[in-house]
Amino acid sequence: MSAAAAGAPGHIEGGRKRTRELAGQAIIDSFKKFSPRVQVRNPVMFIVWLSMFVTLALTFDPDLFGKTQVTAAYNGFVTAILFFTVWFANFAEAFAEGRGKAQADALRQTKTDATARRIADDGTLQVVAAGMLRKGDRVRVERGEIIPTDGEILEGIASVDESAITGESAPVLKEPGTDMMSTVTGGTRILSDWLVFKVSADPGHTFLDRMIQLVEGARRQKTPNEIALTVLLAVLSLIFVIVVATLKPLASFLHIHIDVATLIALLVALMPTTIGALLSAIGIAGIDRATRFNVLAMSGRAVEAAGDVQTLILDKTGTITMGNRQATEFVPLPGYSEDDVAAAAMAASWYDSTPEGRSIVALAVARGAKRDPIWEQAQGVEFTAETRMSGTNLPDGREARKGAVAAVARYVQEGFKTTAPRELKEAADRVAKKGATPLALAMDGALIGVIGLSDVLKPGMRERFAHMRSLGIKTIMVTGDNPITARVIAEQAGVDDFVAEAKPEDKIRVIRLEQGQGRLVAMTGDGTNDAPALAQADVGLAMHSGTVAAKEAANMIDLDSDPTKLIDVVAIGKQLLITRGALTTFSIANDVAKYFAMLPAMFMLALPGVSALNIMHLATPESAVLSALIFNAAIIPILIPLALRGVRFQPTTANHMLARNVLFYGFGGLIVPFIGIKAIDLVLSPFLR
């Protein structure tokens, strides 16, 4: 887990003390879950719950269904084990929910009932309760105040402490107009200056509200896969109900009497109670793992879908590379010196406040370029995605421009009828081949030189992409860079494919192309123009720093705004599904041993030959039945930690993963109950004599 993730929403600190507190709360909640309204949602446990009342009645009157020789104590013992079976299942779910509840409580504390200053149409400030704010209202906040609700910044510049939401303690600079960092979230605290923002969410629908609902699991619905598994488990249980119900007449035909409590014990032991008890906890814990990783999934379905992803579409800048491109070289074209390039580059970048622009100025200064006072009266030309250039209009009418090589070449061709020399392409290619991004530099239509911007690959990306490849996941890098730079970076990072000179709409085109080939696609995004692509992707991970539109289109939000996390989200999704499958396999495989424990026990008095099937040599029929039932109950709490933590996940091929899990949970599920039941029988049988 990353350092940032350790300070999860609401700053939940781990540790034993915390776990003990959670367990205490879960014990209380697990008793509340005995309510039939809760039980009926889980068909497997509901049958156990019903059975418990039947054996309870038999405890008071063992002859309820006809004369028997069994004692009230035996029936009582069965009832007690059934009670614990249900209680363990309740506890697993309550414990899994507990963590979310604690987080939600912490988040609720940050929700203020404080007042807000709403700006009326006439410009005056009205003090209203935060709950009165509606979408479209304008609000002013000042230093030290808690931001009352979500919004988009209209005016002002301020640093904001968002640790209540993200757990990240370093303040964030917020200002209007940029895609990044121009939104505020209710519950965060403004540390300096002031902001005016437009409210973007009605009460009850703010980001904080949604977060509380999600971590609390209040709207937690079963995912489609979970429903399918529930159906399968319910039908298996139903089959065993048929098996056990028809067993009584079959046995009666052979003049064998089987007690109802024993039949119920057989039924409960055969039903997939292990997975039935833990299924809900596995799902909650899966979403919880994402949340603790500071990724807010809008639904459990989104986490599952992440496990299915076959193509990751990643931005180069900021995801694969550090994202702070620095100017590293000036390459003059024939007829110009490096000093000319430095001077022109400085002129073109004077009003460019991006880190790249600053780095160009810094490099120019280092190369001895001097500031020209006339630039003060010049006018900055901002970068747009369409022109893919920025620059400065000097007061004397000259235009200094820098930008993508193709864009600048077209600009001089169209604006000044200057054909780009062959050397421009050569110089650009030389820069690109080093993995740097070439920017062409033009002064008043004359091409001066090429600026090389280098970006640093994030450490460990190559290994992560190799992992992805072993999982069968294709990675596609999307970049505005020219094809040569893109290829070099793609090769260095080890991605499978790249799209160079990409415009925003290219992302959605790539997604549709991949989906058309039957792939499930995940992508990250933060800008408003990413929103359609985020919605089109099967898994869209929006950055918390991004725009409201992006966050609404995505089905997950990364509170740390770290796009690399998409890779971790995939692992979390896979781990959730694997845990579900592994425990199902384990649960069903257990039946073999339970049959060999219980069937000989039930029949060996009437059919002495059948005792040959008692391969575990269990002491007495009673002890055999009770041992199997106790094992069935005890395995639930033993597996709770595994259900909550998830089974170990290593990136490898599907075949390896299957082999490993079949070995552990399939064969393990066959063997473990033989050992467990025998051990319980050894302990139990002396008491039953």
Partner 1 sequence: MSANAFWQIAIELLLAGAISVPFGRYLAHVFQEQKTLFDPVLNPVDRLIYRLIGRDAVKEGMDWKGYAVHMLLTNLLMGLLIYVILSFQAHLPWNPLKFPDVQPFLAFNTAASFVTNTNWQNYGGESTLSLFSQMAAITFPMFISAATGLVMAIAFFRALTPNRDKGPILGNFYHDFVRVLTRVFLLPCLFITPILVWQGSPETLTGMVTSHLIQGGVQHIPLGPVADLEVIKHLGTNGGGFFNANSAHPFENPTPLSNVIETLLMMVGPMALVVAFGRIVGNPKLARVIYTVMASMLVVAVFTAVIAEQRGTPLLAHAGLMQHASAGQMGGNMVGKEVRFGITQSALFDTVSTASATGAVNSMLDSYTPAGGMVSLVQMMLNCVFGGQGVGMLNFLMYGIFAVFIAGLMVGRTPEFLGKKIEKREIVLASLALLVHPLIILVPTAWSLMAPYGVSSLGNAGSHGLSEVLYAFTSAAANNGSAFAGLNGDTPWYNVALAVVILVGRYASIIFMLALGGSLAAKPRVLETVGTLKTDTALFGGFWFATIIVVGALTFFPGLVLGPIAEFYAHHASIGAIR
Which residues ranging from 549 to 568 are in contact with partner 1 (CB under 8 A)?
none
Q: Which of these ranges, 17-25, 134-142, 398-406, 607-615, lies near partner 1 under the rule CB under 8 A? A: 607-615
Question: Rounded CA gap, 43 and 233, in Å?
Answer: 8
Does position 589 bind partner 1 by CB under 8 A? yes
Instruction: State in angstroms the smallest separation of the CB of 202 from partner 1.
Output: 34
Cβ proximity to partner 1: between 244 and 624 the closer is 244
Does position 666 bind partner 1 by CB under 8 A? yes
Cβ proximity to partner 1: between 83 and 595 the closer is 595
Query: Are 309 and 521 a contacting pair, CB within 8 Å?
Result: yes
**167-175 contacts at long range (C-beta below 8 A, 24 or more positions apart):** 167/4, 167/5, 167/6, 167/7, 167/8, 167/9, 167/11, 167/294, 167/559, 168/4, 168/7, 168/559, 168/560, 169/7, 172/545
Binding mask 207-246 for partner 1 (x = CB under 8 A): -----------------xx-xxx-xx--xx-xxx-xxxxx
Instruction: State in angstroms the smallest separation of the CB of 655 from partner 1.
Output: 6
Q: Which of these ranges, 110-118, 142-150, 445-453, 586-594, lies near partner 1 under the rule CB under 8 A? A: 586-594
Question: Rounded CA gap, 41 and 227, in Å?
Answer: 11
* Residue 126: its H or E element: strand 125-129
Single out the residue of 64, 419, 653, 682 in contact with partner 1 (rule: CB under 8 A): 653
Per the structure block, which two tokens stand in for 242?
Answer: 């048929």
Question: Rounded CA gap, 458 and 78, in Å?
Answer: 59
Cβ proximity to partner 1: between 361 and 570 the closer is 570
DSSP-assigned beta bridge partners for residue 190: 160
Q: What is the 3-state secondary structure (H, E, C) of 560-604?
A: CCCCCHHHHHHHHHHHHHHHHHHHHHHHHHHHHHHHHHHHHHHHC
Q: Which of these ranges, 46-54, 202-210, 403-411, 599-607, lies near partner 1 under the rule CB under 8 A? A: 599-607
Single out the residue of 30, 585, 623, 627 in contact with partner 1 (rule: CB under 8 A): 585
Single out the residue of 473, 476, 628, 640 in contact with partner 1 (rule: CB under 8 A): 473
DSSP-assigned beta bridge partners for residue 400: 392, 443
Single out the residue of 6, 27, 191, 662 in contact with partner 1 (rule: CB under 8 A): 662
Cβ proximity to partner 1: between 373 and 518 the closer is 518
Cβ proximity to partner 1: between 397 and 609 the closer is 609
Single out the residue of 105, 308, 429, 497 in contact with partner 1 (rule: CB under 8 A): 308
Single out the residue of 575, 623, 627, 632 in contact with partner 1 (rule: CB under 8 A): 575
Q: At a CB cut-off of 8 Å and minimum separation 6, what does 667 contact? A: 589
Does position 284 bind partner 1 by CB under 8 A? no
Instruction: State in angstroms the smallest separation of the CB of 300 from partner 1.
Output: 12
HSE-up (13 A, CA, CB side) for residue 184: 38
Single out the residue of 599, 634, 671, 688 in contact with partner 1 (rule: CB under 8 A): 599
Instruction: State in angstroms the smallest separation of the CB of 628 from partner 1.
Output: 14
**349-352 contacts at long range (C-beta below 8 A, 24 or more positions apart):** 349/390, 349/392, 349/402, 350/375, 350/378, 350/380, 350/392, 351/378, 351/379, 351/380, 351/381, 351/392, 352/380, 352/383, 352/390
Instruction: State in angstroms the smallest separation of the CB of 601 from partner 1.
Output: 11
Cβ proximity to partner 1: between 306 and 450 the closer is 306
> Which residue in 234, 242, 232 sits closest to 266, CA to CA?
242
Residue 601: Cβ-neighbour burial (10 angstroms; 0-12, 13-18, 19+)? buried
Catalytically active residues are: 315
Does position 588 bind partner 1 by CB under 8 A? yes
Instruction: State in angstroms the smallest separation of the CB of 496 from partner 1.
Output: 11
Does position 580 bind partner 1 by CB under 8 A? yes
Q: Which of these ranges, 91-99, 108-116, 407-415, 579-587, lies near partner 1 under the rule CB under 8 A? A: 579-587
Which residues ranging from 324 to 353 are in contact with partner 1 (CB under 8 A)?
none
Cβ proximity to partner 1: between 190 and 303 the closer is 303
Instruction: State in angstroms the smallest separation of the CB of 606 from partner 1.
Output: 9
Does position 482 bind partner 1 by CB under 8 A? no
Does position 668 bind partner 1 by CB under 8 A? no
Cβ proximity to partner 1: between 555 and 585 the closer is 585
Instruction: State in angstroms the smallest separation of the CB of 573 from partner 1.
Output: 7
Which residues ranging from 421 to 440 are in contact with partner 1 (CB under 8 A)?
none
Single out the residue of 655, 686, 687, 689 in contact with partner 1 (rule: CB under 8 A): 655
384: DSSP letter = -
Q: What is the 3-state secondary structure (H, E, C) of 159-170?
A: EEECHHHHCCCC
φ, ψ dihedrals at 122, nearest 5°: -85, 5
Query: What's the full length of the chain, in residues?
Result: 689
Hey, is 484 helix, strand or coil? helix
Cα dist from 530 to 99, 207, 319, 495, 506, whole Å: 33, 19, 15, 21, 10
Cβ proximity to partner 1: between 359 and 585 the closer is 585
Q: Which of these ranges, 2-10, 22-30, 307-315, 429-437, lies near partner 1 under the rule CB under 8 A? A: 307-315
List the Cα angle 586/592/595 in 5-degree steps.
130
**77-80 contacts at long range (C-beta below 8 A, 24 or more positions apart):** 77/626, 78/261, 78/264, 78/265, 78/626, 78/629, 79/52, 79/55
Tokens 């639904």, residue located: 299
Which residues ranging from 249 to 278 are in contact with partner 1 (CB under 8 A)?
249-254, 256
> Which residue in 183, 107, 185, 105 sits closest to 148, CA to CA?
185
Q: At a CB cut-off of 8 Å and minimum separation 6, what does 422 contact? A: none
Strand 474-478 vs strand 311-315: parallel, antiparallel, or unpaired?
A: parallel
Cβ proximity to partner 1: between 452 and 651 the closer is 651
Which residues ranging from 112 to 141 are in contact with partner 1 (CB under 8 A)?
none
Does position 626 bind partner 1 by CB under 8 A? no
Query: Are 352 and 380 a contacting pair, CB within 8 Å?
Result: yes
Instruction: State in angstroms the smallest separation of the CB of 378 from partner 1.
Output: 53
Question: Rounded CA gap, 118 and 124, in Å?
Answer: 8
Cβ proximity to partner 1: between 459 and 608 the closer is 608
Instruction: State in angstroms the smallest separation of the CB of 210 from partner 1.
Output: 25
Which residues ranging from 502 to 521 are in contact with partner 1 (CB under 8 A)?
517-520
Q: Which of these ranges, 29-37, 326-334, 412-420, 652-660, lies near partner 1 under the rule CB under 8 A? A: 652-660
Instruction: State in angstroms the smallest separation of the CB of 315 from partner 1.
Output: 23
- Number of chain positions touching partner 1 (CB under 8 A): 75
Per the structure block, which two tokens stand in for 145?
Answer: 């105040």
Cα dist from 280 to 22, 96, 640, whole Å: 17, 9, 11
Cβ proximity to partner 1: between 204 and 518 the closer is 518
Query: Are 141 and 173 a contacting pair, CB within 8 Å?
Result: no
